[in-house]
Amino acid sequence: MSDLSLFLSQFLRRPSEIRAVAPTGRATAREMARLVMPGMEAVAEIGAGTGTITEAILGRGLPPERLELYELNAAFCDRLRQRFPRARVHNLPAQEMVNVGRRDLDAVISGVPILPMPDALQSAIVGAALAMMKPGAPFVQITYGPVAPLSEMVRARFGLSHVRSRRIWANLPPARVYVFRQEP
């Protein structure tokens, strides 16, 4: 089964888990992975899906042993384990990373559809990521919406500043990538 077929079948079976209409496009995945460097000690990807962003992260030269993947959908986790056997795949929600994952992350790359989530859930996810990250490390987030994907309350609570990419039209739907960092 192709990644697109798997994605669509899971979208139809579990629409509450799968909020996008298609896997992340390659141009968007490259933009999300842009800050990853081969010398980084550890990176986490949350909401890894079928692995398009994972592929871009590894394409930046990061050794797969240094990559932690978090995905809620079990079928996607099976695909990730097949495609990336040397990466650590966790079938857990992103906010659970504090219980199992590697600490001192150099970056967290998020494919989690965070924009429509309530502030409490956004805070749980971002708080877990920040607890695992080195100070000043980037939290990279995709969004399809017209505004910042983290609410103003969540950004203020964690002291986050951000920069955003240009709109990426080669994605379905068009996307932007935001890079959040905790202000010192």
Report pLDDT digits (tens) over 137-175: 999 999 999 999 999 999 999 999 999 999 999 988 899
24-182: CATH architecture: 3-Layer(aba) Sandwich (3.40)
Domain ranges in the chain are 24-182
What are 98-131's pLDDT values in tens digits? 999 899 999 999 999 899 999 999 999 999 999 9
Give yes or no for residue 6 having a pLDDT over 60.
no
Residue 161: both structure tokens together: 């500043």
Give yes or no for residue 9 having a pLDDT over 90.
no
**β-strands 107-110, 139-143: how paired?**
parallel
pLDDT given at position 8: 53
Q: How confident is the model at residue 5 (pLDDT cuts 50, 70, 90)?
A: low
Q: How confident is the model at residue 41 (pLDDT cuts 50, 70, 90)?
A: very high
Give yes or no for residue 21 having a pLDDT over 60.
no
Q: How confident is the model at residue 3 (pLDDT cuts 50, 70, 90)?
A: low
- DSSP-H helix ranges across 14-108: 26-33, 52-59, 74-83, 97-100
Contact yes or no for 40/104 (Cβ under 8 A)? no
pTM exceeds cut of 0.75: yes
Average pLDDT, integer, range 58-86: 96
CA-nearest of 142, 159, 149 to 24 is 142
Give the dihedral sign, CA 59/80/124/176.
positive
CA R_g for the chain: 15
pLDDT given at position 88: 97
